[in-house]
Structure 1
Amino acid sequence: MSHLLLSNFICCFNNSYKIKKKVFKVKFSKYLIKIIKKLIFLKILKKFFVKKYIINVLINYNYKNVFLKIISKSSLRKFIKLKEIKNDLYFSLISTNKGILTCKEAIKKNIGGEHILYIYVQKSL
């Protein structure tokens, strides 16, 4: 269930970013909120608890290009060892037994895990 919500969130984000929409609505879970809090260019505005759990997410446009891509899917899990984690994957999220971490945090804690999400970010000049 959480992978379906994650893929829905990524589609909503990528489409909203392309058309320069500032706020978009998406269903959420605790897992998804942990991921959104790790992303520096998103902010949760409101949570709605009427029938469906929906949040408003605000996009920060201080970056030239932002693109999210799911690496691990429910049908095909991709795990990454500590040796395979590179510092250039700073904007990747890994699900570990210590919680959801960025690659930099995973290197500091010496743990690997399921490679959930890759985030391509290009800062504007």
Structure 2
Amino acid sequence: MAEMTVDLVSVERKIWTGSSTFVLARTTVGEIGVLPGHEPTLAQLEEAGVVRIDAADGTSTTVAVHGGFLSVTPDHVSILAEFAELSEEIDVDRARSALDRADASEDSGAAARARAEARLRAAGAQ
């Protein structure tokens, strides 16, 4: 099966790097699925979304991503995020509390709600 190299980094750290067979991400213009050999693409990531990376070894990694860019060449995907959190690192109770606070507050706005929802989706808790 064809493979590509994927690097997902945030401002703070490298989140994931390795060989992949598929990447799914949400950009500001819609969802994009990337297979090896994909047409070169540069896209802005949704402000609060989820990225899934299917590794060549058959495992899948889900990441909550807040802002950034996706760069695709036929054999490489770079995801440069402002903030990213692996699904297993997400504190679901804290994310639910953040969602509740965003719902109760007029000041926090839609962005805080979207970030909390993305974290819950990535953790499989929504």
TM-score normalised by L of structure 2: 0.28
Q: Name the one with the larger helix percent.
A: 1
